[in-house]
Structure formats: C-alpha cells, structure tokens
Amino acid sequence: MEKISPIFGESISTEKIKRRGNWDEPESPRVARIYLIPLLLAIVVFLVLSRLFYLQIIKGQYYRNLSEQNRIKTIVIHAPRGIIFDRNGKPLVYNVPGFRQVVGGQTKLIGQEEAIELIASGTKNLEIDSLRQYPYKDSLAHVLGYVGQVSSEELKTAEFANYKAGDVVGKTGIEREYEGFLKGEDGKQLAETDSSGKVVRKLGETDAAAGRNITLTIDSDLQKRAYRAMEKVEKGALIVSTPRGEILALVSKPSFDPNLFTLGKDYKISASSTYKNVSEILLDTTRQPFLNRAVSGRYPPGSTFKLITAAAGLQNGIIDTSYKVVDTGIVRVGQFSFANWYYTNYGGKDGDVDVIKGIKRSNDIFFYKLAEKIGNEELSEMARKFGVDKLLGIDVMGEEEGLVPTDEWKRKVIGERWFLGDTYHFGIGQGYILATPIAVNSWAQTIASGGTLYRPFILKDLGHKKLNDKFLDSATINPIRQGMIESCAPGGVAWPLFEFRVKNEKLKIDGKNFLEAPLATTSSSFKDYRKVSIACKTGTAQHGGENTMPHAWITLFAPAYDPQIVITVLAEESGEGSNVAAPIAKEILTEWFSR
C-alpha cells in the first residue's frame, strides 16, 4: 500500500488487476456464437422462399383466379316491373328511380335522398333499381297489393324456383297474382374495378328486359269514388262489378298505403292515411288492415240471402207468385219465438205477403214460412248453385269459401241435430250461414245477368267465364227483380234510393231503365235529369251478443232491366243496411250514371 495524496485521506491499492479478454474463452463456445446468426438467417430465408414457392407455384393458379375475380365484377341490372293499367289506360303504378341495398341478407329499398346520404358517408354496396310507386295509395291497396323481398319459404316453391335470395317480388294483390307477367329479366354488366372497387371500364353488358304490362277491369275514377264513399266505415267492403263479373271497383277497410313498403324512409305519408309507418300496419291485429274483407271476410249475409230463398222456392216450383203468408208479427215454435223486424222495431205488420212483397218489405215472417216449406236440404242445394260454399275464382289472392249449413254439418261440428228454428234462421240469412262480400255481389249479379253465375275477375284479358249457366229461368228472375225494384221505391225499405235521379241528358229515356224526372229541380235544367230504375236488397245481419251492432248490407244492380253495374256494400257492426249501406251505394250510383 502507498499514500497517493492527502486529499483522499485513505490509502488505495495500486495493485494491478488481472483481466481476461475473449481470447481467453474456451474454443467451442466461441465457434458456436460465430455460426449461430448466419444459421438463423438461413432458416428465415428458407421459410420465406418456401412460402413464396407455395403461394406462387403450388397455389399460384388459385390466387390468380381469385385476383381476376376481384378485378372483374358482375353488376346486376335490375329489370323494371311491368306497368299495371286500369280499363281506360290509366297507369295504376309507376316505376321511379331508386336503389336497393342488401343488409344482413335483407333487401332494403332506398329512395334517392337516403341514397345520397349513404353514398356521402362512404357506403358502396348500393345497387341501382326502380322502385314501385302507387299513386292511388290506400284506395287501391287491396287490389294492387305491394312488393317486397322474396322469402326463404317462397324460394322453396315451384313458383319461385328461378328466383334468388334478395329478389323483389309481388307479396299481395295483383302484384302477387300476376308476378310471372310483371317480373322482368335482370341484365348483367361485367366491369373491371380497381383495388378500391371503383369501376375502371366496362367489359360487356346484357340488357335487362322489363316485365309485361297488364290491363285490369278496374275503373280508377270509380275506385277513388268508392273509397271516398267508404270514408266513415271503419271495417267493411265495397264491390262494383258488371253483370258478367268484371270488377270495376273493390274496396276493403281499413286499408293502408303500400308506398310505405316500397319507397323507403324518404316517403312522406299522406295525412289522410290510417297508418303512418309499416310497424303500425303490421302490429294492428285488431282491425287487420292486410285482410281483404271483400274476398276473405266471412259474415252472416242477413236479408240479402232472401234472394236465394226466393229463388229456391220459385225455381223448384214449391211456390209461385200467388203464394201468400199472413204477417202475424211473430211466429212461435214451442217455447221459441221468431219475430219480423218491422213488428219488433215499430209494432207494425205487413198483412198478406207474396214473394214480391216479401222482398220489397224484407218480411221475415214470409221467409220463415217459405224456408220451412222449401226444407233445409233444398235450400242448401240452391245456395250451392249460387256458389255460396265455393271459391268463385276471383284473381286476387285470399278468397275464402262461405259456409252452407246442413243437418250433417251441424251434427258433426256442433254436435246437435237440425231444428226447425235453424231452418227459419237459414231462410233469412242468419244462424250458421256465412258468405263473403264477393259472394253476395254474385247473387245480385246472377239475377242481373238473367240467371247465370259468372266468375268475378280483375285482369281484363281473362274474359268472362260461366260458373253456372242459366240455372234460373225467367219465371224465377222476374218476380225477384220486381221485388228488388219495389224495395228501392216508396213503400220499400231502402229509403235512400227512393226516386233516385241524376243529372245526365245523355241517358236515353226508355220508360223502363231511365224515366223522366221533371220534379228533380225547378230550374231550367230539369229536362237534363233522369230517374234511374234500381233493383236492390238490403240486409241487417245480427251477430255476437245483444250489445253488438249488426252488419249493414246492401246488394243491387242498375238499371233494373238492362243492368250496367252491380254494387255490394258491407259495413261491419254499424247498424241497419238501409240506413248505413244504402247511402254509400247511392254515391256510387250517382258517380256512374252522372258520367
């Protein structure tokens, strides 16, 4: 040890420290370290080259195909659907520019405003399409229907065998019934795209083929008037047809605006529409807006059925026009009593009643006794000839059969035998019998056509088809028609139609169908007015409990001797047919004969 300097205050060692460098390490570890790094690098290079060899040589063709597919894009050109016209050539639907987008397997129809927003936000999967627009909105919803995405269940059926998921098809109404005509053939466009999906150039194109246009028997002006006439009816139906089955107007209430299903969220709903969005339509299980009551609703027909009861008695020779029943106000069978509406409501009686007066006054006592005289089986048979229990074949989806009760049916379904009281109820359209409004319309149509039942139809090209030819003769038709004429005249029951007049100098006065109406007005234009003969039958159908309002019916044709139109109105749970249904029918008559 030695002292270096006083500043340190301590002695430090100056002994040399012996150090070893790498040259002092053993030989084997040193060699290992020299070759480790190059070896690792060699392994990495080998793996990279192997991967490249796999991708470019072994899987090269696969990835070249995949790259080509990404570069060449097939763009579907959606075909516009065919246009639907009314009988006068007016379009009932339009195809307007729009887009569609597939989100989660669901096809969403998009208007232009919404599409602009989506494009601005970077959305790229929009497809150009034409959207279905329904200018008549609620008024024609149950005739035209609407379009929507084909369902997985539909794709399993033969009808949609050539469709693919995401296709837009007719869902209800004429859109569905004539899908095969209206659906076009989509085109295709091959385009080269860059890495961002932008089209660089078009490589080829197959044009889309538009669907076929079709023409209906519907009169669009009359349809609008019919819908307005039903404005105050919450639930019901109105049908206007020709004596040979052409449907001129068909309304079901409540209705909905089909544009809500087809024009996207840009669509502004009318203030007069019952429903403001699709959810409201789908969730209303009480009023059931999708139900086409004109063809699908089944109701007791009430006194409109008396036309069939009269036909059964006359055509089968059970009665003639000389057969009379004394109106006693009430008929008693054991402990049960069956009253006439006139006696129940006003304490009145109609005296001696024949078949013409029975229809004119809608006298229940007459038809109780007539039904008893005919018998349940023959009455059922005549109802079947009128097609009450069959599908009439109208070309709009959802038609239901009616119900014609028999002893066998009652034993099987109710578990009881048939009683005389059942026959009484059957004879006046009450009890177990059920019918659709389109069926009730066909009863008046059969009388109007001279005893032939025609299929109702909406596609104009379908043409007339007889379902039951001349099963009623003139000896049956004439007194029934006369009773219906007197029902709409003073002394009858359809008071809103008494002395019905319209202003139309073009209607030729013939003394039967069109008559002079000098008392229609005191103005100088009184010569322009005509009195129109009408043949009608009202109905007030009881159902449910005592506190339930009856269904109001009327079915008629006019002019009475050479009919042009047949009208049937049903207003559910609204009162008497003469008070509720007849004024609605009068509006349609005014529209038609004022033209």
Rounded to whole angstroms, how far apart are CA atoms 461 and 221?
A: 20
Let me know: does 531 contact 283? Beta carbons within 8 Å.
Answer: no
User: Residue 325: its pLDDT value, please?
Assistant: 98
User: Residue 270: its pLDDT value, please?
Assistant: 83
373-382 burial string, b = 16+ CB within 10 Å, else e? Answer: bbebebbbeb
Any idea what DSSP says for residue 161?
A: T
* Closest alpha carbon to 559 in 534, 589, 586: 534
Rounded to whole angstroms, how far apart are CA atoms 231 and 481?
A: 30
Let me know: does 482 contact 512? Beta carbons within 8 Å.
Answer: no
The distance of Cα 213 from the centroid of its chain, to the nearest Å, equals 20
Let me know: does 252 contact 227? Beta carbons within 8 Å.
Answer: no
Any idea what DSSP says for residue 579?
A: I
* Closest alpha carbon to 148 in 268, 255, 252, 264: 264
What sign has the CA pseudo-torsion 343, 346, 348, 350?
negative
Rounded to whole angstroms, how far apart are CA atoms 99 and 255?
A: 27
Rounded to whole angstroms, how far apart are CA atoms 367 and 477?
A: 17
User: Residue 178: its pLDDT value, please?
Assistant: 97
**Residues in Cβ contact with 113 at an 8 Å cutoff, skipping those fewer than 6 apart:** 266
Q: H or E element: which one contains 478?
A: helix 474-487
Query: What predicted TM-score, i.e. pTM, was given to this entire model?
Result: 0.85
Beta bridge partners of 96: 131
Beta bridge partners of 244: none
Helices 306-315 and 474-487, axial angle in degrees (round to 10)? 150
* Closest alpha carbon to 107 in 169, 158, 160: 169
Q: H or E element: which one contains 412?
A: helix 407-413
- What radius of gyration do the chain's Cα atoms show? 40
Structure tokens at 338: 């069956």
489-494: Cβ within 8 A, 24+ apart = 491/360, 492/360, 492/361, 493/360, 493/361, 493/362, 493/538, 493/578, 494/536, 494/538, 494/554, 494/556, 494/577, 494/578, 494/582
Give the chain's largest Cα–Cα span: 162
Rounded to whole angstroms, how far apart are CA atoms 366 and 308?
A: 14
Q: Counting every residue, how long is the chain?
A: 595
Domains and CATH numbers, the chain: 71-242+254-281 (3.90.1310.10), 300-593 (3.40.710.10)
Rounded to whole angstroms, how far apart are CA atoms 479 and 533?
A: 15
**Helix (H/G/I), strand (E/B), else coil: 529:** strand
**Residues in Cβ contact with 307 at an 8 Å cutoff, skipping those fewer than 6 apart:** 359, 443, 444, 447, 480, 484, 537, 555
518-568 confidence digits (pLDDT tens): 764 556 667 899 999 999 999 999 998 778 999 999 999 999 999 999 999
User: Residue 49: its pLDDT value, please?
Assistant: 78
Let me know: does 103 contact 110? Beta carbons within 8 Å.
Answer: no
User: Residue 205: its pLDDT value, please?
Assistant: 76
Rounded to whole angstroms, how far apart are CA atoms 440 and 436?
A: 6
Structure tokens at 102: 């597939």
Any idea what DSSP says for residue 158?
A: G
User: Residue 522: its pLDDT value, please?
Assistant: 56
Beta bridge partners of 569: 238, 554
Beta bridge partners of 556: 536, 567
Let me know: does 62 contact 169? Beta carbons within 8 Å.
Answer: no
**Helix (H/G/I), strand (E/B), else coil: 115:** helix
Rounded to whole angstroms, how far apart are CA atoms 251 and 436?
A: 13
Rounded to whole angstroms, how far apart are CA atoms 341 and 349?
A: 10
- What are the residue ranges in the chain where pLDDT is below 70? 1-33, 54-55, 59-60, 62-71, 73, 191-204, 519-525
User: Residue 39: its pLDDT value, please?
Assistant: 78
